Structure 1
């Protein structure tokens, strides 16, 4: 049986070979195969062309994306700079407010010092007046003691 199945396989192979030779001898079939090959080559060239176009487009888009990323980084840097400027301006405003409060406090203290100076001057004048009155009183008492021999 093994030998019989082997014969069948060889017979099938011979039959297939004859069909193939017959197929290749037929001009119609060869023409059809040539046409298919030409169409295949045309499709391959078209695909290659589209591939190159798409690759170029992808590179252009990647360049645009990189440029956008740079702009984003610059904008973020500027935003950080703006935020820092805002912070510094707020600090400056706070310091100006503190300075204004200190100036007001200094003005109040200066006014108090001026008032105290006026009070001191007034007290000194009163003391001088009292001293003068005491001296005048002493003179008057001395004069009355000298005038009154009793």
Structure 2
């Protein structure tokens, strides 16, 4: 057998064994020990339940925190989207204002074109009238020239309130003025007087 480092006190060992046996034999101590053991199990179960509940609550709070984070990110994204939408709205309003200004300018240009078209039509009408008047005037001048060549009478067409003009005497190269008032003499008498002047040539 091997050597022991110290000598065992047999009497103390026996005394300790007796005390242990007496303790184990004491029913009250056993009940207390059993009760303590039951309380220990109950306390452990309660602690386990509270730990599980706490863990569940923590997980719920973590989920809620994560949801809050997602909502916060979404809200931030929506805020950015709203800002972008506001910028787009401002750009749209600016484009609409430009379009309105362009339409106003186009309306002014169309009005100017219409005015120019009216002026062109009026100018062409005046040109036609001027050409017609020139033709009529040329025709009248030719007729007057023909009448003057035949009758030697040059009528005065400026004053329409009276019948007047000049008689050209080619023989002596003299010009005689004549004048008749239609309110004082009849048209027949005026014609007779003019024919008499012509026949005197």
**TM-score, normalized by length of structure 2?**
0.54
Structure 1: give runs of 5+ residues left out of the alignment.
1-5
Displacement, 1:17?
4.6
1:24 and 2:20 are equivalent in the alignment = yes
RMSD between superposed Cα atoms in Å: 3.6
Please name the residue that 2:185 is paired with.
Answer: none
**TM-score, normalized by length of structure 1?**
0.68
Give distance in 2, aligned partners of 1:38 and 1:54: 24
Q: Deviations over 1:99-131 (max 9, x none)?
A: 111111012112211221232233223322321
Count of matched residue positions in the alignment of Structure 1 and Structure 2: 144
CA change 1:36–1:119 in 2 (3 A) is same
Give distance in 2, aligned partners of 1:93 and 1:66: 40
Please name the residue that 1:128 is paired with.
Answer: 128
Show structure 1 runs of 4+ deviating over 6 A.
none
Would you tell me which structure has more strand in proportion to its own residues?
2
Would you tell me which structure has more helix in proportion to its own residues?
1
Structure 2: give runs of 5+ residues left out of the alignment.
151-169, 171-201
Displacement, 1:18?
4.8
Please name the residue that 1:3 is paired with.
Answer: none
CA change 1:60–1:13 in 2 (3 A) is farther
